[in-house]
Structures are given as C-alpha cells and as structure tokens.
Structure 1
Amino acid sequence: MNALTALQPQLSLGDCLADMAVDALIDEADLSPKPGLVDRRGSGAHTDLHLGLMHASALSLWPCFKAMAEAAQQRGEITQALREDVGRIGRDGEVEMLRVTGGVNTHRGAIWAMGLLSAAAALDTRALAPAQVAVRAARLALLSDRAAPASSDSHGAQVCRLYGVHGAREEAQLGFPAVIQQALPQLARSRAAGAGEQGARLDALLAIMTQLADTCVLYRAGIAGLTCMQQGAQAVLKAGGSTSLAGRRRLRELERDMLRLRASPGGAADLLAAALFLDRLQHGLPAQIGSH
C-alpha cells in the first residue's frame, strides 16, 4: 500500500452508491444541448428551474440514496419490509428536496428510479450488470407500499389516467425497458462510433425519447407534443446522431419545437440519469469500500 492509497477514505457501500447516484443526476443536468431541458445553456422550456437548482436538488438527495442502499444491505433480500423502507425514505427525501428547491419539483421521478436502483445494487454487489440490477429493482417496485398515500394527484398520475399510458412506476415495474433496451445500447453504439462521451450521452437521451410516453411532455403538450418529441428524436438519430452535421441540424429543429410547445422531456432525463448510473455501476465499485 502506498502513501496515496493509505490516505484514501474508506467508503461504505451506501456512501459509494449515493455518490454514484448523485453524480449521475449532475451529469444529466450538465449535459448540453438537451432539447427543452435545463442544461449549461439555460432553463430550456422551464421558467422555475435553472442549473444551480438542479445541482442543489441532486446533492440534497445524497442522504436519501444512502439510506435506501443501507436499508437494502441490512434487509438482505427483496421483501415487503424493504419496499416500505424505500417508500418511507423516498417520501422523506422528497420533503427535503422540496425544502431545498423552495417547493419546485426537480427530481421527484429520479427519487423513485435512482432509489430503487441504488437499493437493488446494494442487495447483491456480485451481480451489477445493468439488466441484473434492473430486474431486482423491478421485483421491488412490484411490491405495494402499504404506507403510501391512498391517491396521487401528481401531474404524472393525471396524465396516465387521461391518456392510458404507463408512467414512472410502471417503467420501473417492467425493469426499466427504456434504459435497458434503448439508452444503454445507444450509448454503447455511439461510443463505438467515436461520438465522444457527451455526444454518446445525448444520443442515449434521444433514444429514450424515441419510444417513451413521457408524462412531462404529455402534461404540457398532449399527444401532439409527444409525437413531435418522438419523431424529432428519431430524425436526429436517423440523420447520424447528435455529433453529425445533419443530426445537429435536426437537433436544433427539435429544440425549437420543444420550446415552442413549452414541453420538457423530464421523464426521459430521469431515465438517462438511471442509464448513466447503471453504466458506471457495471464497471464495478471502488476498491476503497469498507465494511461499515
């Protein structure tokens, strides 16, 4: 052991997974240029969000993700008790997020997705391939939370009832197909094609947008807005992706459409963060994880 290694702090598993979850949320927020979303250029289609608020929100969720991972580690298996632990911790995390943001919903969907994935990763650190973690998260999501509020009047819930689409809850219960089948394969293809990391991540976001019934877009712009998002994202990828000249032109067109419609694909953004988390996780956990 050299002096540098000796100085490295010992991280608990919960510390490490919470770090990775927050890093993924910040990486998603920073990624630019994202159509209609907050990024380094500005607030996109939002009037109540900005990049600093997204960073503050992500950082506020670190204790929440750590607690979920620790609950999973302590329970050791997928049970009703763990599902209710995750639900309780997530609701507490949402309260803290809203306190930090002054009541603005920055990451409600991300608490659900990243919390489940953090808990699922902690359950078995020997099986961290994206599909393995996603299946454990799905099994956990399929359990009912008896302490959850009886009814939800969130924007996502309203849209699901109105349009008959599935939202964040069902996406998790299905094993995050937008992440496993769209985002991660596109991320790998774009990297292999030499797109660079930022371009590959943008392409992964667009791949999610081609298929997802994004409830954030549906709430703001209806079916017409959703169709515009899906077809616009398909056009960018068909033209060669976000790093090709033709793809950049299509991306600017999609951006103009999203701003005109005041539509922001927040559901896709949450799932991109989940994809970045799983992508990083599959390469293993840091060697300095301790036993505490």
Structure 2
Amino acid sequence: MIESLLEKPSENYCSDLSDPVQFIAGLAHEAMLLEVLTTPKPGLVDQANSGSHKDMNLSTFIDSAGAIQPWLNHFVSAGMKTAHAPAETVLASIRPQGIACEQAMFSATNGVNTHKGMIFSMAIVLAAAGRQLTLEGKEGLNSEKLCGQVAAMTTGLVERELSSVLKPRTAGERLFQQFGLTGIRGEVESGFATVRQHALPVLTSLLKNGPQNIALLQTLLHLMAHNNDTNIVSRGGMLALKYTQNRARSLLKEGGVLTDNGLTSLHAFDRDMIARNLSPGGSADLLALTWLMHRLETVSIPLFEA
C-alpha cells in the first residue's frame, strides 16, 4: 500500500467505509505517510534522503505514523462527543489524548520528535471534523466550515499560551517573544489561513489531472513561500526564513516543479537546505493537513449517512 500512495488519491484506504470515524482517521494516517513519501522535499526526510535531520529517516517516520494511527480515531470521536459543547472547551478535552499520543510516538522513535507538531494540529482538525460531521453531517466536510470550527475551538490560544508568558521555556515561546512569530498556535487560531489561502487551491487544482507527487511538491513550495515556519527560524534565524521563502518564490516564478527542469531545481534546493541545516517542518505538517482537507471535501456524502 505504501509504495502506491503517491500514484493517485486513495479511494479505499479505510476498508470500512460505513464507519465515518475510522474512515476519517484512515485518511489522516494516509496524509502523514504521503507527506514523508513525497520526494524530493527541500531539507526534509523523504525517499531520497534524511534532509537536514541526522536523528531520523524514512523508517523512523513510518514507525512514528504507525504508533500515532491508533489514536487518530479518538480525536474524531472526541469531536463528535463534544459537538454540542461550547467550541472553546473542546481543545482541553482532547489534550490528555494528545499527550498520550505523543508518548506513543516517542516510544516508537526512541525519543526522536518526528510528529509532535503534527499531532497537535492533526488532533484539532480531526476533532473539528467530528464536530462538524455531527452538527452538519448532511452538508459534508466543507473546508471553510471545518476551519471555522478549528478557529472557534482555539480562540484566544495565542494570548493564553504565548502573549501571557513572562519567561519563555519552549522554542515557540522564545520565538514569539523575539520575533512575534505565533507558529502553529497562530495558524490554528486563524483557521489555517495559510492552508486555505495558499495551499488548498493549488493542491485541489493540480490533483484534477496531474500526478499526486508533483501536486504535493508544488503545494509545498507555495507553503514554504508564505509560511513563517518557526522550524526554520529555530535553526537559522529570520535570515534563514527569508532565504527559504525567497528561494521558494523564485522557483514558483519559474513554474516550480511543473516545468521540465523543475525537479532538478528542487533537488538543488534540497542540497542547499541541507548544507544550511534548515528544515521546513512546519510547512511539511501543513502539507499533510492540506491533503487531508482536500480529501475530506471530496468524500461522498453517503459515506456519512446512518
């Protein structure tokens, strides 16, 4: 199954299409696998190399995704169970499961952080999907409404967890105080504005006729061009972020990977990112979420009827 994932969007990844919880969780796991299999990704672990990471490789990511998989349905179910509760109470209700999921990841990777950021954002998206499915199931999982649920669930998150911190203890807190970067907290509170504005339209358009790997790579370039990726800043500062964004924008002006020399240029970008020890891990997480939102929009409504 893994070898064929990049060929085209899976239509039957989850065998029990009558179970919406398992189906959505199956798509989320597929999104995680697709992200790491997409190749070549500048500075990131993929099928060609380990990017700028010396403590992880393709197998590490696949093992990590496997450890996370059993927890994904819990986030969907939690969203369903709390569908009629105030949106701002949902995040606190899924955090214990998120912590347990992180522990499962660390156990599978011998302490290597492969997906901590992904778990945070994926848990929120899956809970929002369960919530929207319960409240408006017949309308389908529209990305705008889904992201609206995400924004409602995380209202005030930046203020509570970044602005009010006096002594920063984490990289996210430090980067907020130094540069005003809100990271994934700001992204979820905005209802994934970067995904909605820059990534989802590109992926949706390209998947209509083109190969999935190319569509994902072009989408990643758009994310790298616009996302204020705190993973990049943590490794190389704001100058590294500007370099990454400008390089991605330059490639997109030339057509990105949609040109004859596009993949060659992307391989060169990969080598340069590795030489600078830069890894756009935040953009990689958003790529997986972009694909998941796209697939949730294309799911047939009868799958969710009782």
Instruction: Please report the TM-score for the alignment, with normalisation by the length of structure 2.
Output: 0.84
Letter in 2 for 1:174: S
Within-5 A mapping of 1:172-211: 172-191=188-207, 195-211=210-226
Which residue does the alignment assign to 1:97?
105
Q: CA deviation at 1:257?
A: 2.0
The secondary structure found in structure 1 opposite 2:45 is coil
Tell me what 2:59 maps to: 52
Is 1:128 the equivalent of 2:141? Answer: yes
Shift of 1:46: 0.3
Instruction: Judge conservation of contact 2:156–2:189 (CA < 8 Å) in 1.
Output: no
Q: Take 1:44 and 1:62, find their aligned partners in 2: how far apart are those partners?
A: 24
Query: How big is the shift at 1:215?
Result: 0.7
SS at match of 1:242: helix
Structure 2 distance, partners of 1:122, 1:61, is 18
Give CA deviations for 1:78-113 in whole Å, capped at 9, x if unaligned.
Answer: 444422112221111111111111111111111111
TM superposition shift of 1:210: 0.4
Partners of 1:251 and 1:173 in 2: CA distance = 31
The Cα offsets for residues 171-192 of structure 1, whole Å up to 9 and x where unpaired, read as 0000101111111112134346
The runs of at least 4 consecutive aligned structure 1 residues that moved more than 6 Å come to none
Contact 1:10 1:290 in 2 (8 A): no
Distance 1:42 1:153 in 2: 32
Long gaps (5+) in structure 1: 1-7
Report 1:51-90 matches (<5 A): 51-77=58-84, 78-90=86-98
The amino acid that maps onto 1:284 is V
CA distance in 2, matches of 1:128, 1:63: 22
CA distance in 2: counterparts of 1:165 and 1:107, whole angstroms: 20
Residue deviations 1:236-256 (CA, integer Å, cap 9, x gap) = 211112131343343233212
Q: Which residue of 2 aligns with 1:137?
A: 150
Deviates more, 1:22-31 or 1:59-68: 59-68
Task: Decide whether aligned partners of structure 1 residues 13 and 188 sit closer, same or farther in structure 2, where only a CA change above 3 A counts.
Answer: closer
- CA separation in 2, counterparts of 1:240 and 1:39? 22
Determine the structure 2 residue equivalent to 1:18.
25
**Cα offsets for 1:145-189 (capped at 9, x unmatched):** 9xx9x8873333332322211200110000101111111112134
**Equivalenced residues, count:** 282
Of the three residues 217, 226, 240, the one matched with 2:255 is 240
> What is the rounded CA distance, in whole Å, between the counterparts of 1:161 and 1:12 in structure 2?
44
Structure 1 position 207, deviation (Å):
0.3
Q: Output the CA distance in 2 between the equivalents of 1:225 and 1:79.
A: 37
* 1:27 and 2:43 are equivalent in the alignment: no
CA distance in structure 2 between the partners assigned to 1:74 and 1:177 by the alignment = 26
Deviations 1:111-136, CA, capped at 9 Å, x for gaps: 11111111111112234121111110
Equivalent AA in structure 2 for residue 138 of structure 1: A
Instruction: Encode CA deviations 1:57-91: one digit per residue, 9 max, x unaligned.
Output: 11211232211111111122344442211222111
Distance in 1 separating the partners of 2:272 and 2:239: 11
Identity %: 29
Q: Which residue matches 2:245?
A: 230
Distance in 2 between residues matched to 1:80 and 1:198, nearest whole Å: 36
Cα–Cα, structure 1 residues 285 and 26, in superposed 2: closer, same or farther, change >3 Å? farther
Amino acid at match of 2:236: A
Whether the aligned pair in 1 keeps the contact of 2:79 and 2:130 (CA below 8 Å) is yes
Residue type of the partner of 2:153? L
Output the amino acid matched with 1:212: N
Task: Give me the CA root mean square deviation.
Answer: 2.5
Distance (whole Å) between structure 2 residues aligned to residue 282 and residue 288 of structure 1:
12
What is the aligned partner in structure 1 of residue 230 from structure 2?
A: 215
1:56/1:177 Cα in 2 relative to 1: closer, same or farther (>3 Å)? same
Query: 2:91, 2:124 within 8 Å by CA — same for their partners in 1?
Result: no
